[in-house]
């Protein structure tokens, strides 16, 4: 395709009587892309669009092979120092890469795969088959184009509302907290908790250092006998009193260790130390 502009100079008078010379230059010929160049462009554009996928795959390998171990104690510390990612962001990218891998198994999605991590974040809560079904519905709703994160989230929400199992937890039941990818439960993974309120899709629970509301998927019952549950309630009440009394910070590590017991009783030494702390609290 050729485009030409006038090459001859033109002189005209401006409003302030200054001579202004303008020279038009010809447009440069812009040849059409060859089929090979078109293919290369599409390939490179997809790499840019799906950079989050490559990042997630790389992070997963760094984590699984512990390639951070020469400089950092944990994967979380490594991601923060090297990439500026907090724990939540690192695992969002890893989870997103897993979803994309799953979607690529469906030939019909080859040209409409996600271009941003946020578009598929809601899918990480679903099973692989459901991920594919939801993505297909979202693509259809988006008119055959890559759907927005909001479209995907709306479809996932409807599915979860239809399939939500009833809350079967009971007051006084002892559960374990499964923090998983929930940043709000950071530091609580593995802690026992006593159910104090049963809601539709959550439970309010009491831990060694206070109360919090937790989604059902972040709880796992210890299935203790009623007498064990009663004993844990008493232990919890004692630990809470000591924790709230304002004793030295060094005491907190001991109380936190009691907060992660995987049994419904204290050992002789644990009982003795707790009694000493209770005595100190009264003085």
247 lies in the same domain as 218: yes
Please list, in sequence order, all residues whose beta carbon lies within 8 angstroms of the beta carbon of residue 16, skipping any fewer than 6 positions away: none
Q: What is the pLDDT of residues 4-24, one digit of tens each?
A: 445 455 555 555 555 555 556
Report yes or no on 180 lying in a domain. yes
Same domain, 136 and 250: no
Read out DSSP for 2-67?
Answer: ------SEEEEE-TTS-EEEEE--PPPP-PPPPHHHHHHHHHHHHHHHTHHHHHHHHHHHHHHTTT
Q: Is the pLDDT of residue 28 over 70?
A: no
**Residues 129, 40 within the same domain:** yes
CA distance 206 to 188: 12
Mean per-residue pLDDT for 225-247?
90
Residue 72 lies in a domain: yes
Are 180 and 100 part of one and the same domain?
no
Q: Classify residue 11: in a domain, yes or no.
A: no
Give the pLDDT confidence score for residue 250 in this predicted structure.
78
Enclosing domain of residue 224: 166-283
Same domain, 54 and 136: yes
Which of 136, 163, 190 is the last residue in one of the domains? 163
Shared domain for 59 and 148, answered yes or no, is: yes
**Which position has the higher pLDDT, 111 or 224?**
224
Domain count, the chain: 2
Question: Residues 210, 250: one domain?
Answer: yes
C-alpha to C-alpha distance for 238 and 271, rounded to whole angstroms: 11
Categorize the per-residue pLDDT at 37 as very low, low, confident or very high, splitting at 50, 70 and 90. Answer: confident
Assigned domain for 241 exists: yes
Last residue of a domain, one of 163, 182, 208: 163
């Amino acid at each position: 395709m050729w485009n030409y502009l006038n090459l001859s100079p033109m002189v005209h008078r401006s409003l302030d009587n200054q001579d202004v010379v303008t020279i038009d230059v010809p447009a440069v010929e812009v040849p059409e892309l060859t089929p090979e160049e078109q293919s290369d462009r599409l390939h490179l554009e997809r790499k840019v669009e799906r950079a989050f996928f490559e990042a997630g795959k790389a992070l997963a390998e760094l984590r699984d092979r512990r390639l951070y171990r020469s400089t950092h104690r944990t994967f979380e510390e490594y991601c923060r120092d090297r990439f500026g990612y907090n724990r939540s962001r690192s695992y969002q990218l890893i989870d997103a890469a897993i979803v994309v891998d799953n979607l690529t198994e469906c030939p019909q999605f080859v040209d409409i795969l996600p271009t941003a991590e946020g578009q598929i974040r809601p899918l990480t809560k679903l099973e692989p088959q459901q991920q594919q079904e939801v993505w297909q519905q979202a693509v259809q709703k988006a008119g055959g184009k890559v759907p927005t994160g909001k479209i995907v989230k709306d479809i996932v929400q409807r599915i979860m509302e239809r399939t939500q199992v009833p809350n079967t937890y009971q007051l006084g039941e002892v559960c374990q907290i499964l923090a998983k990818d929930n940043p709000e439960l950071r530091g609580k993974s593995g802690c026992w908790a006593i159910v104090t309120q049963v809601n539709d899709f959550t439970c309010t629970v009491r831990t060694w250092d206070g109360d919090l509301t937790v989604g059902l998927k972040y709880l796992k019952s210890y299935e203790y006998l009623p007498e064990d549950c009663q004993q844990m309630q008493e232990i919890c009440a004692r630990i809470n009193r000591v924790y709230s009394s304002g004793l030295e910070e060094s005491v907190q590590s001991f109380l936190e260790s009691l907060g992660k017991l995987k049994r419904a009783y204290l050992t002789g030494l644990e009982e003795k130390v707790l009694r000493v702390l209770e005595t100190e609290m009264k003085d």
